[in-house]
Amino acid sequence: MTPPKDKTKDQEPPSEADELREEIAETREGLGDTVEQLAQKADVKAQAQAKVDETKQQAQAQVQSVKENPVPVAGIAAAIGGLLFLLWLLRRR
């Protein structure tokens, strides 16, 4: 029985050209990502739409919160109404 051959001995180390090709490929990929990010930043319409969507979601969450627990809102409304009534009474004098 013969000992198994070591495959690493048969393979040649990567040449400088191969290393350069790999480095160029990595650089191109990085530049592609950078260009994509810049394009997203330059798309003002898409950014505005994203902000509108985010604001809508926040407003819907607030509305849902008030629907689930209306007591604080009712308390604030009653306090404002009481202050307005008090101001009206004081001005009548």
- Per-residue model confidence as pLDDT tens digits over 18-32: 899 999 999 999 999
SS3 27: helix
> At 17, which amino acid appears?
A
Q: What is the pLDDT of residue 58?
A: 95
Per-residue pLDDT averaged across 10-39, rounded?
A: 87
Higher pLDDT, 14 or 31: 31
pTM here is 0.42
Per-residue pLDDT averaged across 59-69, rounded?
A: 88
What are the boundaries of each domain within the chain? 17-92
Q: In whole angstroms, what is the distance from residue 6 CA to residue 12 CA?
A: 13
Per-residue pLDDT averaged across 73-92, rounded?
A: 92
Q: Percentage of residues in the chain with pLDDT exceeding 70?
A: 87
Q: What is the pLDDT of residue 69?
A: 83
